[in-house]
Amino acid sequence: MASHDELRDAIAGAKRILVFTGAGISVDSGIPDFRSPGGVWTRIDPLTLSADRIQGSRRDREAFWRAMVEVAESVGQPAPNPAHAAVARLQRRGQVVLVATQNVDGLHQAAGSPPETVAELHGNLARCRCVACGTRYPTAEVLGWLRAGETLPTCQACGGFVRPDVVVFGDPLPMRALDRAHAAAFDCDLCLVLGSSLMVHPAADIPVRARRAGARLVVVTLSTTPVDALCDLRVRAPLGEVFVQAVADLGD
């Protein structure tokens, strides 16, 4: 297994880092892994949260929102952890070209990463939008409507269907975020993957593109990934142990 020193040296030698994060970076914030035993996907059918349900009947949309409420309650109101803070610290050192995240929790921004430097590949659970006119609402406000008795949240501006501003099954990824991540993949000299199993596509293709464009690929996650054989450095250890310490060793 790669050592903490190797990880520190790989980060120290990079000038243009693409940080790519997945669910594993938020585990220490108390956000559950939905796929683990007892996770949300063992209690509800993931396909309930699909573009087909959003575009379906009223009954389909009501089922979508019941499932979404369960997801939101599972996430709760987490706070960023030291791994998020370490990413922000790397940004302050001027080494990071972009943070591309598969997470919808907004914890990179909460830890101090400027919002304009974070590409949210799967959206953000804190926001909702009307599919008809585009009016945006805080998810907390929409959940309040549901708790007050609404079964189907509708836009106060036009009466259209309100949905979370996240990517669900069957949705395309947000084009601007995806374009920014692809551009960073071709520009970076190091792609640093933190806490992602790299199983969810097309987002998981981005580190591979970076590697093929000539960047070093470093993956820090406990699970095996489909790109392990491509890695220049592979670290199987908790982020709170190895990554956080590696960044701390670099100083400010």
pLDDT in tens, 212-251: 999 999 999 988 999 999 999 999 999 988 999 999 999 7
What does the pLDDT read at residue 5?
87
Domain with CATH 3.40.50.1220 in the chain: 1-30+79-122+173-252
Domain with CATH 3.30.1600.10 in the chain: 32-77+127-166
Give the pairing of strands 123-130 and 136-138: antiparallel
DSSP β-bridge partners for residue 218? 192, 233
Pick from 60, 46, 18, 41: which is nearest to 218 by CA?
18
Confirm whether 122 is a catalytic residue. Answer: yes
pLDDT digits (tens, 9 = 90+) for 117-165: 999 999 999 999 999 999 999 999 999 999 899 999 999 999 999 999 9
Tell me which fold the domain 1-30+79-122+173-252 belongs to. Answer: Rossmann fold (3.40.50)
Average pLDDT, the chain: 91
Q: What's the predicted TM-score (pTM) here?
A: 0.92
Nearest CA-CA partner of 227 in 212, 213, 214, 240: 212
**Choice among 84, 108, 122, 182 that is catalytic:** 122
Provide the Cα torsion 180, 181, 186, 188; round to 10°. Answer: 110
Let me know if domain 32-77+127-166 sits in CATH 3.60.70.12: no
To 10 degrees, the CA torsion angle through 142, 109, 101, 246? -150
Q: Average pLDDT of 45-59?
A: 86
Q: Give the H/E segment covering residue 163.
A: strand 162-166
